[in-house]
Amino acid sequence: MTNTKVIKSGNGWRIGWNPDAPKFKGLVGTDDWAIELTEAELNDFCRLVSQLADSMKHLASELMDEEKIAGEAESELLWMEVEGYPHSYSLRLILNTERCVEGKWDVEAVPGLLQAAAVLKVF
């Protein structure tokens, strides 16, 4: 049996996938905290973070350079928010499941996290 566990990390972020884990197959976090996620939660995380990033890109042409914005997206499992400038923003996560968890990624961490979530290929 091969180990298909994947953990990617960078400056201020980490994301992981372990298809062999019994319940919590995903992981997201920073250098200071992490939370294990179910496969459905991780799928929603990857989908929503991509959706929010696309929204920020589309808004870039409609805003003046100094305008900050916030956007949110949610599923039955989690709520996410981006806040800042279209090219530089923080990301917040709140789980809506039986575990009460809130987490945040700083502006510097978001680009790497977005890139890693896009290639994790779990959704």
Structural domain for 38, as ranges: 6-119
> Total domain count for the chain?
1
Burial class (CB in 10 A: 0-12, 13-18, 19+), 62: exposed
Q: What is the pTM of this model?
A: 0.90
Confidence label for 21 from pLDDT (cuts 50, 70 and 90): very high
Mean pLDDT of 75-99: 94
Whose CA is closest to 107, among 68, 74, 61?
A: 68
Whether 1 is in a domain gets the answer no
Tell me: pLDDT of 40 over 80. yes
Q: What is the pLDDT of residue 57?
A: 87
| Per-residue DSSP letter, 41 | H
Confidence label for 123 from pLDDT (cuts 50, 70 and 90): very low
Whether 76 is in a domain gets the answer yes
Instruction: Return mean pLDDT, the chain.
Output: 91
β strands within 41-101, DSSP E:
69-74, 78-85, 88-95
Q: Is 84 helix (H, G, I), strand (E, B) or coil?
A: strand
Q: What is the pLDDT of residues 43-65, one digit of tens each?
A: 999 999 999 999 998 887 777 77
Confidence label for 111 from pLDDT (cuts 50, 70 and 90): very high
Calpha distance 47→51 (Å, rounded)? 6
The CATH number of the domain holding residue 15 is 2.30.31.10
Whose CA is closest to 13, among 122, 104, 120, 119?
A: 104
